[in-house]
Amino acid sequence: MSIRVGPGDLAKYPFLNEAGEYLRQSGFGWDELEKPEMKEIIDTAASRIAAGTAGQVNDSLERYEKEILVFLVSLILVKSISIEPVLKKYSLSEARRAEKFLTEDLKKQTDPQKRALFAKIFEDLFSLKIDVAENGRLFKVKVTDYLRRSSHFHEQEWRMINRLVSRGFVFLDADEVVRLVRNELAILIHDRVAKMNIPQMPAAIRQKADELRAELAPKVQYRAQAVTEYPPCIKHALEVMGRAENLPHSARVMLATYLLAVGKPVDEVVEVFKNAPDFNEKITRYQVEHLAGTKGSRVKYSVPSCDKLRTENLCFATGDCAGIINPMQFGRKRA
Ligand code: SF4
């Protein structure tokens, strides 16, 4: 079956290759970006980037052509801002936006054309083959594909023992299928920007990029911590955060409990996580307060032991760690 990708689909999934083709066929050229009527597109793209950097997800859907252009201009702007944490946060917010549309569309699709389109999106972009299960409600993916992606999820529901499995397939609902590729979608958008080659930046975009850089840089700058006296595991986690990379959940717990245990106030601990690509201040604050024992169970969590951190691959021991059983002892022995 030939797959028809309409403008409505491209507005929701503008990262598909067909979006570029659509713009070419509509006669869109680089010079258009200099025209005064592009101001609205550039401004919308700039606000999406600012919102994405603040951890917000935009799920509005405007005119189809406008959506495609806003996405294109956003990519160019993020490229020219050239701040890695902004790129990471923006990529994640675009991935979350597409995730929302994909989930909604997967839930209501019964049309064979639509099914073919989704199969194409998953196969082309993520090399993941999904089929509709015989009951017509669930989707099935190969066990190997499932395991490759779910192995880094921490929630119990993703463990194979808690899944419906039959004849080499794992059965998932629409939310779960999309959740499975969330990280890959963010990486795809990130890599697309990273590989972009823009020979000559249109003046209007250059000016907007300068404004955005000045506005966003202070918000994502990592506050240099006095990390030299921290144990290597904590130093490593802080460095990962400083590079705006993703830290696994167990490493976040280690970092937060350690910082709280050495007397950092909740505000400061929350601040440490602000570089995380998926940072959401409200959720982070709740989690840190929970670990500090001021919310939820009201039990203050202890820093995990070195043994536990070793089993979670979070230990980066050096000679200075000799003889200690908890990161809290680091430095004390030497003293
Ligand atoms: S031995 Fe303990 S303190 Fe040292 S890096 Fe490993 S987990 Fe951290």
The domain ranges of the chain are: 1-108+188-221, 232-329
Beta bridge partners of 169: 142, 166
* pLDDT for 304: 95
The owner of tokens 């200075």 is: 320
14-18, 152-156, 190-194, 222-226: segment of lowest average pLDDT = 222-226
Calculate mean pLDDT across residues 130-139.
78
Q: What is the pTM of this model?
A: 0.67
Q: Which residue's alpha carbon is at the smallest distance from atom 5 of ligand 1?
A: 317
How many C-beta atoms lie closer than 10 Å to residue 39's C-beta?
11
* pLDDT for 152: 66
- Note whether 18 and 75 are within 8 A (CB): no
CB-hemisphere CA count at 13 Å for 283?
10
Give the pLDDT band of residue 19 (cuts 50, 70, 90).
confident
Residue 208 tokens read as 């907007």
Question: Is 20 a pocket residue for ligand 1 (Cβ < 6 Å)?
Answer: no
Question: Is 232 a pocket residue for ligand 1 (Cβ < 6 Å)?
Answer: yes
State in Å: Cα 235 to ligand 1 middle. Answer: 10
Summarised one tens digit per residue, pLDDT across range 286-307 is 999 999 988 777 788 999 999 9
CA quadruple 153, 158, 161, 166: dihedral sign: negative
State in Å: Cα 85 to ligand 1 middle. Answer: 28
Residue 184 to residues 73, 131, 152, 263: CA-CA distances in angstroms?
22, 19, 13, 37
Calculate mean pLDDT across residues 101-115.
77
Summarised one tens digit per residue, pLDDT across range 207-250 is 999 999 999 887 776 443 444 579 999 999 998 888 777 788 89
* pLDDT for 211: 93
| Amino acid making up residue 245 | E
